[in-house]
Homo-oligomer: A and B are copies of this chain.
Amino acid sequence: MADIQSVTRAQNIRYDRKTEALYIIDQSLLPNEEREIRLQTAEEMYDAIRSLRVRGAPAIGICAGYCMYVLAKSIRGEDQQVFLKKLSDYGEYLNSSRPTAVNLNWAIRLMLRTALENADCTRGQMLDALYEKAAAIHQDDIAKCRAISEYGLTLVEGGDGILTHCNAGPLATSWYGTALGPILLGTERGLKFRVFSDETRPLLQGARLTSYELQRAGVDVTLICDNMASIVMKNGWVQACFVGCDRVAANGDTANKIGTSGVAILARHYGIPFYVLGPTSTVDPDCPDGEHIPIELRDPEEIKTMWYQRPMALPEVKCYNPAFDVTDHELISGIVTEKGICRPPYTKSLAALSLKKA
């Protein structure tokens, strides 16, 4: 149990009040090295998000909260208007690091709203309020992941095979994770699952992070290439698909790691339920459908040269490298949030969560 809790309750983002320092586990070095790095400047924070040292929509949100606090502390001078302007500029800068996940924007807005609400306070009170808000975002995510895990666990049985894509485990969130939450919570309770982890090209989060987290937690995990999901399903080894989400539109269309929509189409073909798991902060009620979700295009070198000993394609070959795709709501069997499991029609069930618009 010690072993599994070191995974389910890992401290991937940690603000140390004694040394007044923000640390994250650098996910880009896993599974070969577990190293904490300290984030001090806005540039380091931007780079950490951009380079996926911290990744996973909820984790980015948690990290962004603490980042805003650290940056607020760094602002010199007493003028509140200048302070608010500078903090807002920092927020805009951080928010530009990645466009798709709504949590980044969501956390930054929460922090800026907190600053505005405390505009008349002393500097000390302002910083206290910002720290409390960042810590609240963090604690809130832990509670949400726990609730998502409990709800998700009602969808599977011990012995089930579960396929997951990318990484939506503790590293991508706070504790337990979203897509991996039911698996880890069930494992703590003695259930056995057989998990298939898509390696998730090009950044290999499934190989480097998901299979790492599950193996360390003692879960029966099998790593496959993304293009093996079809044969694994055809073999009858998969009873459910669990994936995370980066943004859920009001109609249930879901942006998640590139390849997720393909998994959903395969699952539909083989008659396997396909579930999206994520906190309600990932639902964007302002976004009517998937057409309105911006999709981040990343560097072709992630496909051609990154990780490799030598280039895997001619330098002049073009690449298309979208980081996300949108899974049509019609392919989704359920969206598991901390408030319960939404079922189709999502326009109705997501609206019933009465999420605040921006």
Does the CB pair B314–A228 fall under 8 Å? no
* Given A308-B308, A313-B223, A322-B228, A207-B303 contact (CB < 8 Å): yes
Query: From residue A150, how far is it (CB to closest CB) to chain B in Å?
Result: 27
Residues in B whose Cβ lies below 8 Å from that of A227: 165, 198, 200-201, 226-227, 258-259, 262
* Given A32-B310, A304-B223, A230-B265 contact (CB < 8 Å): yes
A 303-331 contacts with B by CB, 8 A: 303-304, 307-314, 316-322, 325-326
A222 within 8 A of B: yes
Query: From residue A302, how far is it (CB to closest CB) to chain B in Å?
Result: 9
Does the CB pair A319–B31 fall under 8 Å? no
Interface bin, chain A:
35 or more
A221 within 8 A of B: yes
A266 to B269, CA, bound (A): 9
Query: From residue A25, how far is it (CB to closest CB) to chain B in Å?
Result: 16
Query: Which of B200, B266, B307 lies in contact with A265, CB distance below 8 A?
Result: B266
Chain A, 180-222, contact with B by CB distance < 8 Å: what is the 0/1 string? 0000000000000000101111101001100110011000011
A 213-265 contacts with B by CB, 8 A: 215-216, 221-232, 234, 258-259, 261-262, 265
Residues in B whose Cβ lies below 8 Å from that of A231: 258, 261, 295, 322, 325
Does the CB pair A312–B265 fall under 8 Å? no
Query: Which of B208, B230, B262, B307 lies in contact with A309, CB distance below 8 A?
Result: B307
Residues in B whose Cβ lies below 8 Å from that of A32: 310-311
Query: From residue A3, how far is it (CB to closest CB) to chain B in Å?
Result: 13
Max chain B C-beta neighbours (<10 A), residue from A223, A227, A268, A322: A227
Query: From residue A249, how far is it (CB to closest CB) to chain B in Å?
Result: 15
Nearest first, the 4 closest Cβ-Cβ pairs linking A and B are A227-B259, A230-B262, A201-B225, A226-B227
**Chain A residues within CB distance 8 Å of chain B:** 31-32, 165, 196, 198-202, 204, 207-208, 211-212, 215-216, 221-232, 234, 258-259, 261-262, 265-266, 268-269, 295, 300, 303-304, 307-314, 316-322, 325-326
Given contacts A228-B322, A230-B262, 6 further A-B contacts (CB under 8 A): A199-B303, A207-B312, A222-B318, A225-B321, A227-B262, A231-B258
29 examples of A-B residue contacts, CB within 8 angstroms: A31-B312, A31-B313, A165-B227, A196-B320, A201-B201, A201-B227, A207-B304, A212-B313, A215-B314, A215-B317, A221-B318, A222-B318, A222-B319, A224-B320, A225-B321, A227-B258, A228-B258, A228-B321, A228-B322, A230-B259, A231-B261, A231-B295, A231-B325, A234-B325, A234-B326, A265-B266, A266-B266, A307-B308, A307-B312
